[in-house]
Structures are given as C-alpha cells and as structure tokens.
Amino acid sequence: MLKLVIIGAGGCVGAILRYLVAGMVHQLAQASAFPVGTLTVNVVGCLLIGIGGGLMESRQLFSPEWRAFLFVGGLGSFTTFSTFGLETFNLAKDGQWLSSCGNVGISLALGLVAVLAGHMLSRLI
C-alpha cells in the first residue's frame, strides 16, 4: 500500500509539472498551431528518464521507493512517452533491433488507430 501512495505522490507532482511546463511553452510559442508544449514535455521527459535510467544502471543511485516516486509516478504522469523511449532504447541497446523498431511502429500505428476509433465511438455516445 505504501508503494501506491509513493507512486500517487509522484504522479501528482508529475501531472502538475506537465501542466505548468506545457502551458509555459505554449505561451512562449504564442499562436503556434503545432503542439510545442506537448513536444517539449515529451522530449524533456525522455531526457530525464535517460539520465535517471543511466544513473540507475551505472550507480544504482535510487532506492526502490525513489524509483517508484520518480519514474513510475513522476515521469509516468509527466509523460508516458519517456517510458516508451526508455523501453525502446533498452531493446535496441540489448541488440533486439526488430523488437525496438516494432515497438515504435506498432505503438504509433495502434495509437493512431485507437485515437481514430475513440473519435468515431464518441459520435455514437
């Protein structure tokens, strides 16, 4: 139960940071139609999970509780794209190139199909 509370606390922080960072970037970009706030959040999240994943791997820097707070909760709610990036990178790093590329292609294709399906279903509700 404590792990769920830790993840929830990290999720709260990550969601608030996502809102603030994306909003600030969107304001700075002013009337841009491109979702630059979301792009920024995704890239920053990938950078942070790359740093954290590298530190975990090379220095075992984070306790299980900190990993749950920072990675599952914090970055998980800041952007799930960062987790996707780390998992895809790890597959490639382990020489599983087909799985790595498949993860990218399948995630993109199924994600877009799911958005389309959800949009179509919303018209039936």
pLDDT in tens, 47-86: 898 888 888 888 888 889 999 999 999 998 998 788 888 8
Domain locations along the chain:
1-124
Q: Is residue 10 classed exposed, middle or buried when 0-12, 13-18 and 19+ CB atoms within 10 A define those classes?
A: buried
What is the model's pLDDT at position 68? Answer: 93
Annotated binding site for Na(+): 76, 79
Annotated binding site: 76, 79
Q: What amino acid occupies position 40?
A: T
What is the model's pLDDT at position 32? Answer: 72
| pLDDT tens by residue, 77-111 | 998 788 888 889 999 999 999 999 999 999 899 88
Burial pattern 39-67, b for ≥16 Cβ within 10 A else e, equals ebbbebbbebbeebbeebeeeeeeeeeeb
